[in-house]
């Protein structure tokens, strides 16, 4: 299969759009159920926004891949632009988030790594599509699956861990 053309990838990207939409809905439910608790912790609204961006990033990039007849360079530019927004904006949120007093360091490390591991493959995919070398859509597939893993982890924190 050609990793630089979307032909043959349609079923995968249709599944990713559906999964991203479902997980985004789960996130909204998690936040709405626990809204008062989420707002009580200065770190959690940002974490919810980061997670939303990560999942919507998969939704958007997978949707771009479903546009028929799109030139590889255009798709690469779209994927790269979406990847950069979903990569940079949450880093800004993380930098501006006040630290949790007396919190274990691994809390913030996990939050940052979850975001980076989920989103950076999309940035690499965009560059790879533009360059025509380096794996192309396989990076996007990895990024989508890692973003789902991070989104589920963060939704768990916002739905269950916040209750402890």
**Among candidates 147, 41, 10, which has minimal Cα distance to 90?**
147
Has residue 43 got a pLDDT over 90?
no
> Is residue 100 domain-resident?
no
Give the pLDDT score at 96.
86
Per-residue pLDDT of 83-125, as tens digits, reads: 999 999 988 988 888 777 777 787 788 888 888 999 999 999 9
The pTM is what?
0.89
Contacts of 126 (CB under 8 A, 6+ apart): 76, 77, 78, 79, 80, 81, 82, 83, 84
- Host domain of residue 116: 10-95+106-163
Q: Do the domain assignments include residue 56?
A: yes
| 53: in domain | yes
Would you state the pLDDT for residue 60? 96
Question: What is the number of domains present in the chain?
Answer: 1
Q: Is 14 domain-assigned? A: yes
């Amino acid at each position: 299969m050609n990793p630089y053309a979307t032909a043959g990838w349609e079923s995968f990207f249709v599944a990713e759009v559906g999964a991203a939409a479902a997980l985004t809905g789960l996130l909204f439910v998690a936040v709405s159920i626990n809204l008062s608790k989420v707002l009580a912790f200065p770190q959690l609204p940002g974490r919810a926004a980061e997670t939303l961006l990560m999942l919507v990033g998969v939704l958007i990039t997978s949707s771009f891949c479903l546009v028929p007849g799109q030139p590889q360079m255009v798709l690469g530019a779209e994927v790269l632009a979406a990847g950069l927004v979903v990569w940079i904006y949450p880093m800004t949120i993380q930098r501006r988030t006040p630290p949790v007093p007396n919190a274990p360091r691994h809390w913030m490390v996990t939050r940052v790594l979850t975001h980076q591991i989920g989103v950076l493959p999309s940035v690499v995919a965009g560059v790879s599509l533009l360059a025509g070398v380096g794996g192309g859509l396989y990076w996007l597939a990895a990024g989508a699956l890692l973003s789902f893993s991070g989104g589920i982890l963060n939704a768990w924190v916002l739905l269950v861990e916040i209750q402890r």
